[in-house]
A and B are shown apart, each in its own frame.
Chain A
Amino acid sequence: MQQLIWSQRIIERVIIVEITFNGEKEILDKEYSVLGFLSKNELSPDIVTVSLNGAILPKEDFETTLLKEGDSLDVLMFMGGGR
């Protein structure tokens, strides 16, 4: 019994999600929403657009969308013309 609980804990602890972020593999050690992932990377949601698996993700969905194994995430920035 004790052992079962112990192994469950281990399973819970090793949630590893591998995603592709801006073209490079990244391993997440816990579950992240898109919003959480942006904040982990110090990216303000106000000034970026997120493309998730090839489709633009509406800003309203940043908080509720969880990153899953194999997801491909591109963060696109507003950029000026160098004036």
Chain B
Amino acid sequence: MLSFTEEQIIRYSRHIILPEVGGEGQKKINEGKVLVIGTGGLGSPVAFYLAAAGVGTLGIIDDDVVDLSNLQRQILHSTKDIGRPKVESAEEKLKALNPDIDVVVYRERLTSRNMMEIISGYDVIVDGTDNFSTRFVTNDACVMAGKPFVHGGILKFSGQAMTIVPGEGPCFRCIFKEPPQQGSVPSCSQAGVLGVLAGTIGVIQATEVLKYLLGKGELLVGRLLTYDALAMKFREVQVKKNPSCPICGENPTITELVDYELPACSIQDNKPFK
């Protein structure tokens, strides 16, 4: 028996009217538990749209504070939030958008120590981190715990997204075996990013989460979707499970979670795609 309040029926009416969603699908979304790692460029649109969609439990984790240079793309935060913890600013906007949901706030960094405990409470984990160590550890933890992990990345005028469903397709390490060498990775301010890319890729990640919760459609499993904003082209790169993957391969060499000592942020000035 589906029990919606009158307000919920109106709030989610454009979902409920879709035959593929309906009342049952909306219930699945309302019961969904999603952890968004980072409330920056990607995390902002992901969390914003998932809150709007009514994802019942939305975990947000970030240890950073809002900086003026964030506001070009991190749409959960406003000018008045400069200096505030990002999770606090994010929680306020998410609750204002939809008081119907629980926002669980973690003002910390996700590491090998707190990872397993934190992700255990969620159905889906979303990658909105710029920290390569966090991304690799999260991938490993999701493979170990069998949790789906929706990867997203943006750089300059390019972006990419892929969904990792352990046991059903390749993981992040099947493609990127380990984080880039230290030193090959200068600061993010050097690389730059067109702010709107965070929206393009973040919304794709949020779409994947909703499809997973609904059990509808084809997920980006085994398909790395790449986006070139200048050419305005999407491309799909088929990727297979790598038998020699150190975490999900035939003879895994990673048997426990380990953090990497790496600088945060992305990549050197380089031509991303043609």
Determine the residue in chain B with the shortest Cβ distance to A24.
Answer: B274
- A54 partner, pick from B127, B240, B270, beta carbons under 8 A: B240
How many A-B residue pairs have C-beta atoms within 8 angstroms? Tell me: 117
- Whether the Cβ atoms of B153 and A80 lie closer than 8 Å is yes
- A79 partner, pick from B153, B179, B237, B244, beta carbons under 8 A: B153
- A56 partner, pick from B38, B70, B175, B198, beta carbons under 8 A: B175
- Whether the Cβ atoms of B153 and A78 lie closer than 8 Å is yes
Q: Is A55 an interface residue (CB 8 A)?
A: yes
- Whether the Cβ atoms of B268 and A80 lie closer than 8 Å is no
Q: Is A33 an interface residue (CB 8 A)?
A: no
- Whether the Cβ atoms of B268 and A77 lie closer than 8 Å is no
By the criterion of a CB under 8 Å from any partner CB, how many residues of chain B are at the interface? Answer: 55
B residues 11-55 with Cβ under 8 Å of A?
38, 40-43
Please indicate the chain A residues that have their CB under 8 angstroms from the CB of B94 in the complex: none
B166 to chain A, nearest CB (A): 18
Q: Is B114 an interface residue (CB 8 A)?
A: no
Q: Is B154 an interface residue (CB 8 A)?
A: yes
Residue interface mask B72-107, A partner, CB < 8 A = 1: 011000000000000000000000000000000000
- Whether the Cβ atoms of A82 and B193 lie closer than 8 Å is yes
Q: Is A16 an interface residue (CB 8 A)?
A: no
- State whether A78 and B180 are in contact (beta carbons under 8 Å apart), knowing that A24-B274, A43-B270, A47-B185 are contacts in the complex: yes
- Whether the Cβ atoms of A78 and B267 lie closer than 8 Å is yes
- Whether the Cβ atoms of A77 and B158 lie closer than 8 Å is yes
The interface of chain A, by Cβ under 8 A from chain B, is 21-24, 41-44, 46-47, 49, 51, 54-56, 58-59, 74-83
- Whether the Cβ atoms of B42 and A82 lie closer than 8 Å is yes
- Whether the Cβ atoms of B64 and A80 lie closer than 8 Å is no
Q: Give complex CA distance A42, B174 in Å.
A: 24
| Contacts beyond the supplied A41-B271, A51-B239, A83-B131: 15 A-B pairs with Cβ under 8 Å | A22-B274, A24-B274, A43-B271, A46-B181, A46-B184, A47-B270, A49-B175, A78-B155, A78-B180, A80-B132, A81-B129, A81-B152, A82-B73, A82-B195, A83-B70
Q: Give complex CA distance A55, B184 in Å.
A: 24
- Whether the Cβ atoms of A80 and B155 lie closer than 8 Å is yes
Residue interface mask B122-142, A partner, CB < 8 A = 1: 000001111110000000000
Q: Give complex CA distance A78, B127 in Å.
A: 13
Q: Give complex CA distance A58, B176 in Å.
A: 10
Q: Give complex CA distance A41, B273 in Å.
A: 10
A61 to chain B, nearest CB (A): 12
Please indicate the chain B residues that have their CB under 8 angstroms from the CB of A58 in the complex: 244
- State whether A78 and B175 are in contact (beta carbons under 8 Å apart), knowing that A22-B273, A83-B64 are contacts in the complex: no
- Whether the Cβ atoms of A77 and B155 lie closer than 8 Å is yes
Q: Which of the listed residues A21, A55, A56, A81 has the most CB atoms from chain B within 10 Å of its own CB?
A: A81
Please indicate the chain B residues that have their CB under 8 angstroms from the CB of A81 in the complex: 38, 40-43, 127-130, 152-154
